[in-house]
Amino acid sequence: MIKQAVIMAGGLGSRFGNRTQAMPKGFIEIDGLAMVERSVQKLIAAGIEEIIIGTGHCSEFYDELAKKYPIIKTVRNDNYENTSSMGTLEVCAPLVKESALLLESDLLYDSIGLFVLQNEERDNVILASGKTNSEDEVYLESDEDGVICNVTKDKASVKNLAGELVGISKVTKSFLNKMVAYYDKTRAENAKIDYETVFCRIAQDKEGGEPIFIRKIEYYAWTEIDDEAMLERAKTLIYPRIKENESLRSVRREVLLNPGPSTTTDSVKYAQVVADICPRELEFGKLMEEVATGLTEVCADPKDYISVMFGCSGTGADEAMVSSCVPPDGKLLVVDNGSYGARLAKIASVYGIDMDVFKSSTYEPIDLEELEKQMQSKKYTTFAIVYHETTTGLLNPLEKICPMAKKYGMTTICDIVSAYGGMPIDLGKLGIDFATSTSNKHIGGMAGVGFVVCKRDELLKQKDWPMRNYYLNLYDQYKYFLETKQTRFTPPVQTFYALRQAIIETKVETVEKRFERFTECWEILVKGLKDIGLKMLVKEEFQSHFITAILIPETPKYNFNELHDYARSFGFTIYPGKLGNIDTFRIANMGDIKPEEMTHFICVLRDYMHSIGVC
């Protein structure tokens, strides 16, 4: 799996004249988006987690872009005026860790090319296409082994045409090192050499070289953009083709307004399409390790916390935590102010754990004084609470509650399943020792991985505790993974690839921005509900912005199933919710939901409510 990409963007773009005097070529827009930004988005969607951009001319444009996409690193080729793409590649090379994709900055291309390179079994590969008629072709010639032996604009000199150079390649770190070494050695006569010529030199170096192959996609939709004529051709001919190709691969959109699993991006869906692999291979172990660190980073400092993962849903993680984290002779206090708090208590009772339940209203804030009295009343070892009660959308004030639990010497175990990844959380600051979540809520992955983010010191205390269960034992799972980079039992392999992609996308958006997006959707929802005349169960100021429980209208004409089916026919899935004798339906802001989709949903809801005489 390729994790890094290098974009060579130092050039002057002088063939454009005025247009690129005060702007790099990559920032020329097509359909409202700079070429290089579109390329960045495609690389992210293809699972690239770090993009190194080698800059030069007007480098500040790229530094700005890096602020918008935190996974971009820029490096300046200070000598860009006297060098060429190889000079820019040279300054990027030290940041490349393993294999990487190399791209030119002025490309418009179908993202399928990235998929093809990600799937290539050969290590060093140059992407090529059939005849483009672009009038600026760079021809590639290969030898009898399929290795590149000539790069030229002079077609007549080519005997064995292998295709036209696209400007996207895949190289190993060692190949890149050889390129840099060659450039270094021949700098005096080769200052302005192109990277593709150096490909050829390394590939044909009989002593110490390394082969690089050509992978041709005959009818590949792509173009380089070097001047006004090419830009025009790109806009009218190539871009529409790319757009159509990509839209053919887009998955029918269903917006899940139910409280998990949540709507996923197409790139997360496609991330599951990978070569088969035995999960006991080290390569997969490393992937799981990186995923675990990524999961931890969303809510805690990996120096102090570690994520322990299981193949299960969120409740599985809850069960692992509750059954593992109460000491053998311990006593548990559980807050129950909704079905998920009740579920924690139920799990504890099934394991015969000594426990008291603190019951509180499902739609009004917890009485903190009462809770503290309860904490004081007995010697509890462990305190359990749900952060965000998904039943109602009530957010419990953990910043006030957790310090109380600490004061009475308790270990705090917390179900943060439906808050995790949706809002900034710092377990260390809150004083939470163990916290559960799942791959398929705010983080935006597929269902199937449940995990517990554990404070390392606290987890290590469980070393000699007798196991209450087998599959879900936290310490055993942790220890086995630490020693083998394997889970004890078969993990959901493809779900892990999707989760990796979901973590990348979370990092790119940032949790702060995600919370802002959910809040924007929630505001649209709340305003819409008020306009329609529907009431909410929980007061606005206590709501999480993730779930809104809506009281059903009083008319007997209301029928949840009818509303559900009507909404579903427009691609929206909603969820019922009964709380004691209060009847509600629920709308979630989770995953890949966009404000304009919420606006559309409000129209659908208004139409239904109008049809039954509510508005």
Ligand X SMILES: *Cc1c(COP(=O)(O)O)cnc(C)c1O
Instruction: State the residues that interact with ligand X by CB under 6 A.
Output: 259-260, 313-315, 318, 340, 386, 390, 415, 417-418, 438
> To which residue do tokens 């700098």 refer?
187
Closest separation in Å from C-beta 526 to ligand X: 20
CA dist 532 and 549 (Å) reads 15
Closest CB to ligand X among residues 442, 517: 442
Tokens in use for 219? Answer: 């009818």
C-alpha 293: how far from chain center: 13
Closest CB to ligand X among residues 167, 259: 259
Closest CB to ligand X among residues 142, 418: 418
What is the number of the residue whose Cβ is closest to ligand X? 314
Closest CB to ligand X among residues 56, 259: 259
The sign of the CA dihedral 76, 82, 88, 92 is negative
* 401: Cα within 13 Å, side-chain hemisphere: 26
Backbone dihedral angles phi then psi of residue 393, each to the nearest 5 degrees: 90, 15
Closest separation in Å from C-beta 339 to ligand X: 8
CA dist 455 and 427 (Å) reads 9
Closest separation in Å from C-beta 592 to ligand X: 17
Closest separation in Å from C-beta 266 to ligand X: 23
- How far apart, in Å, are the Cα atoms of 285 and each of 20, 49, 121, 473? 46, 18, 20, 19
Instruction: Report angle CA 236, 240, 241 to the nearest 5 degrees.
Output: 115
Closest CB to ligand X among residues 132, 440: 440
Closest CB to ligand X among residues 56, 421: 421
Closest separation in Å from C-beta 178 to ligand X: 49
* 60: Cα within 13 Å, side-chain hemisphere: 2
Closest CB to ligand X among residues 7, 423: 423
**Strand positions, DSSP E, 315-462:** 332-336, 355-359, 382-386, 388-389, 394-395, 411-415, 434-438, 449-455
CA dist 475 and 461 (Å) reads 9
> In the 8-state DSSP scheme, what is residue 144?
T
CA dist 334 and 356 (Å) reads 6
Q: Which residues pair with 129 in a beta bridge?
A: 164, 217
Closest separation in Å from C-beta 390 to ligand X: 3
Closest separation in Å from C-beta 435 to ligand X: 11
CA dist 55 and 25 (Å) reads 11
Closest separation in Å from C-beta 310 to ligand X: 12
**Which of 418, 409, 448 has its CA nearest to residue 341?**
418
Check if the beta carbon of residue 174 is closer than 8 Å to that of residue 77.
no
Closest CB to ligand X among residues 386, 524: 386
* 10: Cα within 13 Å, side-chain hemisphere: 26
Strands 449-455 and 434-438: antiparallel
Q: CA dihedral defined by 479, 481, 482, 484, rounded to 10 degrees?
A: 120
Instruction: Report angle CA 48, 51, 54 to the nearest 5 degrees.
Output: 150
Backbone dihedral angles phi then psi of residue 549, each to the nearest 5 degrees: -90, 125
Closest CB to ligand X among residues 178, 343: 343
CA dist 61 and 26 (Å) reads 10
Closest separation in Å from C-beta 499 to ligand X: 14
Closest separation in Å from C-beta 575 to ligand X: 11
Closest CB to ligand X among residues 167, 260: 260
Closest CB to ligand X among residues 24, 260: 260
Closest CB to ligand X among residues 56, 492: 492
Check if the beta carbon of residue 412 is closer than 8 Å to that of residue 427.
no
Residue 291, judged by CB atoms within 10 A of its CB (0-12, 13-18, 19+), counts as buried
Strands 148-152 and 139-142: antiparallel
Q: How many residues does the chain have?
A: 615
Closest CB to ligand X among residues 223, 390: 390
Closest separation in Å from C-beta 259 to ligand X: 6
Own/partner contacts of 25-34, CB < 8 Å, gap of 24 or more, are 25/105, 25/106, 25/225, 25/226, 26/61, 26/62, 26/105, 26/106, 27/61, 28/106, 28/225, 28/231, 30/108, 30/231, 30/234, 30/235, 30/239, 31/235, 31/239, 31/243, 34/65
Closest CB to ligand X among residues 226, 433: 433
Closest separation in Å from C-beta 517 to ligand X: 19
Closest separation in Å from C-beta 519 to ligand X: 18
Closest CB to ligand X among residues 296, 439: 439
Helix (H) or strand (E) holding 163: strand 161-171
Closest separation in Å from C-beta 226 to ligand X: 52
Closest separation in Å from C-beta 547 to ligand X: 8
